[in-house]
Every structure is written in C-alpha cells, then in structure tokens.
Chains A and B, each alone.
Chain A
Amino acid sequence: MDRAIVVDRLVKNFEVTQKEKGLRGSIKSVFSPKKQTVHALRGISFAIQPGELVGFIGPNGAGKTTTLKILSGLLYPTSGFVQVLEHDPWEKKSEFLKQISLVMGQKNQLWWDLPAIETFELNKEIYEIPRRDYEKNLEELVTLLGVGKLLKTQVRRLSLGQRMRMELVAALLHKPKALFLDEPTIGLDLIGQQKVRDFIYEYNRKNNATVILTSHNMDDLTNLARRVIVIDDGRILFDGALEELTGRFAKEKIIKISLSKEVDVKAIGQIGEVKHVLFPEVILSVPRSVVAVAAAEILQNFPVDDLTIEEVPIEEIIKKVFKGELTK
C-alpha cells in the first residue's frame, strides 16, 4: 500500500434551509422554506502516505471538518473519489471501521453516566480486540496520558482535560491505522495541550499510523505537522512542507536593524513598514521583491551597527491563514 489516503476532485454540497429572524420568519419558513446550497468542498485533491502526520489549516467553515467526516465515512460525497486504506469510507465495512478513528474535540463517545472503563470494555467487544491486546493497549494509553487513577470515576465528574484524554484512550484502543483528529486540544490548558500533543506524536511514530489533524492551535501545527494542507472556502490553497508555507505566502520579508545612533524613525518608515521600534532595534517589513534594495538603502543612509534579513515567522503566516487573508 503506497497511499494511505487518496482524495480526488472531492465535492460536497449541503442544502441548508434559511430562516429569517423572529417568529414571523419561523412561520414563513414553515410554508415556503428557502433552500440554499452551501459549497463546503469545491473539488479538492490530495494524497497521503502511510505514517504521515498532516495538519489541515484554514479559517472556520473552510471545509476541514467536512473533509475529515467524509474520510471517515460519515458524509456522503456529492462527487469525487475518496479512498482510505484501500476502502471506500462510505461503505462502512467492518474491516475499514476497525482501522480508523475520528476524534472530535467537542464530542463525547464516553457514556456520560458510567465510568470510562465501561466504555472501554464496550469498545473492546465492538472492535473485537483480543483480551491480551486490549489490556496491553489500555495500560499503554492510560500510562502515556496519565489517567490511570480516573478509570473508575463517572465520566460526568471528570474535568474537560481528563475527559479529552479518556476520549483519546477510547478512540485508540483498537490501534487505528488512520487517525483523524479534529481540534484535539480545544479547551485544554497549556499542560493538557502539551500532553495530548506529545501523545499524538508518539502514537504516530510508534505505530506508523497516518494522522490528519485540524487545529486552531498554532503550537499543535508547528510542533506536530511536517506537512500542512491549507484549505479555504472549500479549496486547497497550499499543500506542502510547513516551512514552505512562508516562502509561498509571505509577500514580505523582515529586516532587523540595530542602530548605533538614535535617528528619526519616520525617515526609515519611508523605506518599509515599521513594525517595532525599541532603540537600538528597529524591525521593518518590506516587499520581497525590493528587500535587497531596501537593505542597501538603509545601510547607506543610516548609522547601522547590524542588519539581518529574515523570513516572516511561521506563526504570522498561520495567523493570516486562520483569518482567511491568504489567496492563491
């Protein structure tokens, strides 16, 4: 198997009923419902190798979650081709479902009124995990995530972070070959986020599992994903190594200057956009195409101790991605 996931010209449209505001609107929508088609995915294509860890990024409503739902067989594609682990997800074959897992940060599969261990036992039967494997996996997951003491606590009494980790245990007991994570660190504190992140990294590495992750958390992406796919408005804007994102989208470069004498910053402002001034340091942002000229000009006209030219930090780019400010 050379491709874990293949997606080709995938399209998904939703029919949404519009409702005008207020009671009058409600009544109106009963008699003449206004249907609107939402284009969630407008023909996306990509392929993922076994063992890859890929980050999906894009603003809210870009189509990230829709893609994950299609990959796990929840949604029926409007058109296009999807193959995951050599299966058509929509068929929901047992062999397929036993090899995947979808974890959504805002969703519970744990039985709310019972201790988490009950859900695990149930999953053991549902996924037909042999007793020995089950015990080994459970032990391993519980230790890695540090939730050993909470197995017998009613799920409703767990904190959000504890519950999220339990969710991960429940989702991974059957050792899925393909793991889809939708906002796995949402609502967690910094330590909790770090635990979950380390865990995902370990899981991917140890089991050579294919992982797709969506997140709004920049640390998730910069720490975990080597490859990112940027989606906006149902289209793929970028697919490649995280470091290349900068080269691709940053229209500017950063010039850092260390001045030897205090000068009028306004004069420097004519060369490029001043981002930050804290004598003796000045940070400028200039268009990529003129960066060499700008640097020469600065060196000529100002008392400069030191000058460096840098790429825009990756966080800045990702921030822009989430704001939907990037276009092809």
Chain B
Amino acid sequence: MKKYFQIFKISFQQEFSYRLNFIMWRVRNVLQIILTFFLWSSVFKNPQTEVFGYNQGKILTYVFGILLLRAIVFSARAVDVAGEISNGNITNFLLKPVSYFKYWATRDIASKVLNLVFSVFEITILFLILKPNLFLQTNLITLFAVLISLIFAIVLFFCLLFITNISAFWMPENGWAAQFLFIGIITDFLSGGVFPLDVLPFTLQRALYSTPFPYLLFFPLQVYLGKITGLEIVRGLVTSGAWVFILFVILKFIWARGLRRYSAEGR
C-alpha cells in the first residue's frame, strides 16, 4: 500500500512540474463553463420553459454537473499507456514488483484529486459570479446512490481507457488515433457529455442503457437530478456493475495476450 502512496506523491509532483500546462487546461475548463452557461441560459430565457423535462434550473445544473463529473470521471493519466507501450517505457514497470494497473489507477486518482480540487474552487467562484438557479438534491439515499454510481463510473472509464490504450500492443502507431476517436469523441458523446441523452429517440436511449457509456456521466447526473428514481436506479447500478465486471475480465484477458506480443522494442 505504501508504494502506491509514494506513487501518488510523485504523480502530484510530476503534475506540478508542468504548472503552465495544468493552468491552461483549467482555463480551458472555465471558458467552457462560461460558454455553455450563456448558451443554455439564453435558450431557457423564460424560467417557465421546459424542454425534454428540463427547466432552466435543471439544464444549468446538468451543464455544471457534467463539467464537474468530467473532471472526476474523465481526468485520467492512463492516456499515456499507449505511448509507453509503443516507445517501450512500459519495460520499466514490467521489471518491477509493482502492479501496472494499480500504478495507473493511483496516478489517475492523483490527477482526479488535483482536478477536483481546482474545479470545486472554480465552480464556487463561477457560482458566486453567475448566480445560476441550480437544483440541489437533498435526499440522502439519492446522494448515496449518486456516490455509488460515480465509483462505478470511474472504474468503467478506467477499464475502457485502458483497453483502448493497450491496443497499442498490436498497433503501436495507432494508439493515439484510437484514443482520440473512441475516448475523445464516441465515449464523450454516448455518455451525455455533449448533450443530455434524453433528447434522443426513446428506442435509442433504451439501447444505450444496455451499453456502459451512459453510466459514465449521464446516469449519475440523472440520479442526482431526480429524473431517475427507485427501481430504475437499482437497475442502472446493476447494469453498470455488470459492465465493470465484464470490462475488467476483458481487460485482464487482453493485457495477458498483449504482454506476450510485447517485444520491448527499441529499448
């Protein structure tokens, strides 16, 4: 356990040695919030307007919520795994008594903590400036369900990201492209990062709910907003839990196969 704590500490230092990068990344996030805020508040000018079950308060909460969730779920260092495989750096870890998964999970957590601290800070400031009419969930059981779904979301994303990245064992040159397309565009889109999924046709929504994607952002947020309740929550949690299991097994399998193919090139 201690070794992972040390990894956590060194990751933090590493992030800080690229201070400017980090600051630019945060600036980008703030600009994004301001942009979407003004977009949606002009669409829902009249507080009485309701589209797809969203009024002004809920859509703004959705937008803020997505940004916060993105910081928690999508901020991950494991995007570097593909690069490590193709340039052979992964060799360093395979030689050491350390679990590569746990290593990256730890680095992810370090990155999430850092991003979370900053986004809470930013959101508080923006909240004070913009004074949006946000929806506050007060039911403790619901909040607990949100927490559970969030943990599942983090693990799900970790598995998806890792699987995408270790495709580099087979296609060392394609790691980045796969990542950009699959994680950057498809996953973000299907998980509700771009717009609420309930604006989609009903059959499509139902189909989506049997994939892992909505459980990354959309589902936890819907639970928070009280748009998914009771048995629906349980069903969602069971589905995402099942996906956690399935993806983890797939990940382990592909990892074992990939290692056999690995040729520690160029090093």
Contacts and interface: CB of A to CB of B under 8 A. Distances in A.
Interface string B232-267: 000000000000000000000000000110111001
Given A102-B95, A114-B13, A125 B2 contact: yes
Given A74-B91, A102-B95, A118-B10, A126 B3 contact: yes
Nearest to B94: A74
A134 to B, nearest CB: 12
B263 A75 contact: yes
Contact of B10 (A98, A102, A122): A122
B17 A114 contact: yes
Contacts of B2: 125, 128
Contacts of A118: 10, 13
A92 B94 contact: yes
A89 to B, nearest CB: 10
Interface in A108-149: 108-109, 111, 113-114, 118, 121-128
A73 B97 CA distance: 12
A107 B267 contact: yes
B138 interface: no
B96 A113 contact: no
Nearest to B90: A74
Nearest to A121: B6
Interface in A88-108: 92, 94, 97-98, 100-102, 104, 106-108
A319 interface: no
B130 interface: no
A69 interface: yes
Contacts of A127: 96-97
A279 interface: no
B98 interface: yes
A122 B92 CA distance: 13
B50 to A, nearest CB: 51
A14 B264 CA distance: 11
B134 interface: no
A269 B98 CA distance: 65
A74 B97 contact: no
B14 interface: yes
A106 B87 CA distance: 12
Contacts, number: 66
Interface residues of B, number: 24
Given A76-B259, A126-B3, A127-B97, A114 B10 contact: yes
A75 B264 contact: yes
Contact of B262 (A74, A94, A109, A125): A74
B97 A98 contact: yes
Contacts of A76: 259-260
Which of A75, A97, A126 has most chain B Cβ within 10 Å?
A126
A185 interface: no
Interface string A53-96: 00000000000000001001111100000000000000010100
Interface of A: 14, 69, 72-76, 92, 94, 97-98, 100-102, 104, 106-109, 111, 113-114, 118, 121-128
User: 3 closest Cβ contacts across the A-B interface?
Assistant: A125-B6, A125-B3, A94-B97
Given A74-B264, A109-B92, 20 more contacts: A14-B263, A74-B95, A74-B262, A75-B262, A76-B260, A92-B94, A97-B96, A100-B95, A106-B267, A108-B92, A113-B18, A114-B10, A114-B13, A114-B17, A121-B6, A122-B7, A123-B96, A125-B2, A126-B3, A128-B97
Interface of B: 2-3, 5-7, 10, 13-14, 17-18, 88, 91-92, 94-98, 259-260, 262-264, 267
8 contacts: A74-B94, A74-B95, A97-B96, A101-B95, A109-B92, A124-B6, A125-B2, A125-B6
